[in-house]
Structure 1
């Protein structure tokens, strides 16, 4: 069995273990994730979405082989064992090509799956839940399952041809949009056992062909709505009682667990309880880049206190200017007055500014900020004001007051909650 299957099997045998998934391409986030995985002795599952990485480059500009090389290069630099890295593909299907007719969109999706699997991505989330240009507004479950099985067939053939270990699969039709940025419905409902049983049955029938029998045995998880989500300023926290029926149902399905999307901003106690209740795969994305943004803004505030204005990076201003010049990643997401939109651009939990860190003016401002604070180390009094948790670690001699170390420590604090919730030697569930 692969490390993923081993963890899922241990969970189903009664061990309180799980797998956390870092859905991100940000360098500082991934470096922090590697530090956390080393600290808690966990494997590290890193997932790319079909928006981030595809055969044409995605919004990161990386194809699946390029993304793998990027992650492995970071691992070598961090002295993180390559064999403990697991790569996954999230929302793999026609997502990026919904504006095209289904036949054309699915042709691209087939190429997408082949690119991911041939590059060694092991955990594959099959997501064909979205309608294409000539589809009905809501796809029947049978269509979703048939398309998912079609992509699984491509994945199986690709892995065999490349001599790679066969992938493991995640299925499910009740999936949030990539990034979890929809407006949060106050009446958010947990998926019913009846609905998830229907989804499983439909997919089982779609995978009934002889050449997919082995693939079906490697379906490890289903994506459902456990009652957790977030939007720009609101968090829907986990309620174990509301999800009790769903948690009980999955116990009747040998070898399966649930995968929980949009777990960002949940309390650590909720993360532990989610794993206990068989939502054993926890995905985190925007919360990690939100912590990264918080660290950068804090460092920019320190910089402005230390240096003359003409020497400063003006990072917050540069980011704002670029987001206004290139509004495609936030404009349709952030409603309200100009003032309300400005606040959301900077501070929204959905963290649309994560799409802009790679833009040359923003990247240059970040580099200048780090260079400035490398030459002029943040004094303790300013660390206490703007990065109090990191200030304590610097005082104790456990953390260097270097800007990149401070950034990574801030992000690692967030990711460590996931590691503790999933690790065999993790802390007890906090009160």
Structure 2
């Protein structure tokens, strides 16, 4: 069975009323990847891991990895965890001109062509075509026809690469109402749910754009449409799924039975909301910052435990080290966080948008994390401190199903988030 069969079956499952969806884990952090693969191994399910155009591209992205590098990175962790890579699906998220949108459109799209080729040639088989943003000299939003024409252009590059790759032919996700990667930058109060008519028009305009390029067969492998179901998170708040508000949008799927919806920014939704999203046809649930937020919570909890047990001065803690790093190198947060210094300090460490995640690969951050973990080494953390700082994990520790070492707590804290998605998607 091809790995893409799972994705291509989502629409028929929805049409027949069968349960089930798939979570898309959007992260390049090795502990997140490890926890995800362990979850998939234990559940016996396929795992979908996606890299964004800014994280990974032919120029290295902010991770320094090309698509081929990222594949090797994930497969190395899979080998360590015992996860069968035949059940691994790699996806490219927001693939389009976004990393180069400061350039004229043709130059940005030419670089996007190269990026798409690199992703597909490396065996990424779920391709989200995102050409919704304007480039230099254009408006921030483009007409649907322009977006569709550019998406079809990138699909042509993808199909050409697929013929050479030897991997499964890719499936595609399209859409013109695409949320900002990583969540909104301000407090979110009201969201406009995508209208049913907008979805139908999006599918139609893309179908015609693909046909113009002779890509009818490729369009038959289009499985998803990105829409706004009414979920989002900002720096300080989360907008939760309002099922009645999305009823007409959900009903539109009956008129496009080839498709399901892909929901971005589902981070921090409760299991009940995630389950309702899947049942309503949002069968692909994207999560990224919510998982690394859980990682940061665990790191900071362990930091406090280490400081208490070994009487570590505040200036030598992980939290203090991260504050110094983010103040010295503010490029990843200063455009996104606003307010007085109190608010800025709060957001640097505890924002839902979790822009601290960009700093974990930094050498100074890695030194600070490793120093903190070395202090705890393989010691069994006292149950009372687990109760104090990791209350949700305490029952597993008390039942002897989780040995409370620092590493186990880190992985279990990430899996606690991933398991919400696993339960919603079963």
1:359-398 alignment, distance < 5 Å: 359-398=362-401
Using the alignment, how far apart are the partners of 1:95 and 1:82 within structure 2? 30
- CA distance in 2: counterparts of 1:313 and 1:282, whole angstroms: 39
Out of 122, 128, 134, the residue aligned to residue 125 of structure 1 is 128
Q: In structure 2, how many angstroms separate the alpha carbons of the residues matched to 1:79 and 1:375? A: 22
- 1:22 and 1:285 in contact (8 A); partners too: yes
1:239-269 deviation digits (Å, cap 9, x = unpaired): 1100000011112211210000000011100
Q: Match of 2:413?
A: 410
Distance 1:136 1:390, change over 3 A: closer
Uncovered stretches (5+) of structure 2, i.e. residues with no partner: none
What SS does structure 2 have at the residue aligned with 1:211? coil
Shift of 1:381: 1.7
Structure 1 counterpart of 2:350: 347
Give the 3-state SS of the residue equivalent to 1:258 in structure 2.
strand
Q: Distance in 1 between matches of 2:341 and 2:242?
A: 35
Matching of residue 174 in structure 1 with residue 177 in structure 2? yes
Q: Which moved more, 1:306-315 or 1:247-256?
A: 306-315
1:295 aligns with 2:281: no
Aligned pairs for 1:186-265 (under 5 A) are 186-209=189-212, 211-265=214-268
More off after superposition, 89-98 vs 391-400: 391-400
Q: CA RMSD in A?
A: 1.4
Distance 1:374 1:312, change over 3 A: farther
Q: Write out per-residue CA displacement over residues 271-330 of structure 1, whole angstroms, 9 at most, x where no aligned residue.
A: 000000000100010000000000000000000011132699511011111111111110
1:369 positional shift: 1.3
Q: Show the counterpart of 1:428.
A: none
TM-score normalised by the chain length of structure 2: 0.97
* Secondary structure of the structure 2 residue equivalent to 1:282: strand
In 2, Cα distance between the equivalents of 1:366 and 1:221?
Answer: 39
For 1:312 and 1:333, the matched residues in 2 are separated by: 26
Deviation at 1:238, TM superposition (A): 0.4
After superposition, where does 1:61-80 map in structure 2 within 5 Å?
A: 61-80=64-83
SS of 2:24's equivalent?
A: strand
* 1:51-98 deviation per Cα after TM superposition (whole angstroms, max 9, x unaligned): 100001000010000000000000000000111110000000000001
Query: Which residue number corresponds to residue 118 of structure 2?
Result: 115
Match of 1:3 among 2, 6, 10: 6
Gaps of 5+ in 1: 424-431
Asked if the contact 2:378/2:406 (under 8 Å) is kept, the reply is no
The corresponding residue for 2:425 is: 422
Match of 1:426 in 2: none
TM-score (norm 1): 0.95
Structure 1's 407 and 79: CA in aligned 2 closer, same or farther, altered over 3 A? same
State whether residues 312 and 369 of structure 1, in contact with CA within 8 Å, keep that contact through their aligned partners in structure 2.
Answer: no
SS of 2:61's partner is coil
Cα deviation, residue 375, structure 1 = 5.0
Distance 1:185 1:24 in 2: 23
Q: How does 1:67-106 map to 2 (within 5 A)?
A: 67-106=70-109
